[in-house]
Amino acid sequence: MEGIVEGCLGFLYDLLLVVCVGLLVLRVAEGRSVRWLVLLVVPGVTLSCLVHSSALKVGLVSVLCSGIHYVGREGVILPTQNKAVLITGCDSGFGHDLARFLDSTGLRVFAGVLDELSPGALELKKAASPNLTVLQLDITNSSQITQAHQYIQSQTGETGLWALVNNARVLGYLCDGEILPIKIYKKCLDVNFIGSVEITQVFLPLIRQSKGRLISISSMAGEVPLSGFAGYGASKAALISFSGAIRQELSRWGVTRG
């Protein structure tokens, strides 16, 4: 029995070595730098040859394969030329950081904020490149959505909008669902669901035009009921259901949803 196991491990080890070499050849064929990949392979294979345990050798080479694959992916950079992204909720937090990061990659970024005079909005205006535009965009205000759409359409022309990131959201406050005020339920639904649906409907023609993508930031609370999150979780559950349905509907147009 031990001989069979050793034989299988030996075969697996040889197979993994072949995979390592194949990955190197593939990177070379793609014109990518293999300097760091070679530095991984040489000590990795040498170390595996010095190890006597077949199981440990297989483990080492498996890690080596993963390392080659990961490092090799660093050279894959999505072209940013002529691509525009709209992100909602950029006053602070994730939306703010995402806007700055995408701006640094060269994308044309439209950063929607609840208040264009907020500290976060002013910081974006000051620190970002000319490729980033801060827009007054309360997603519960239909007129502001329309104004943002008209402006972005005038700026992107025939290229369209490459991505919409529905990030704007409101938590309200933690409270038992029994006593959470109805106005908080309505506010969560207005921002986290209705607002995201409306801005999606308005901007979809521009996204379809570029065969872009629609990204909605949801929450675990929308899938797993959590005490104290009745209002917030319900609104996120609605967003998840909407996103799942529209993903299927948009697939025939070449639009993806994240």
Nearest to 160 by CA among 207, 202, 197: 207
Q: Exactly one of 70, 151, 173, 232 is catalytic; name it.
A: 232
Question: Distance between CA atoms of 243 and 237, rounded to whole angstroms?
Answer: 10
Active site residue 13: no
Sign of the Cα pseudo-torsion (142, 132, 103, 100, in order)? negative
Question: Distance between CA atoms of 221 and 174, rounded to whole angstroms?
Answer: 12
The dihedrals phi and psi of 62, each to the nearest 5 degrees, come to: -65, -45
Question: Distance between CA atoms of 204 and 135, rounded to whole angstroms?
Answer: 18
Query: Among all residues, which ones are annotated catalytic?
Result: 232
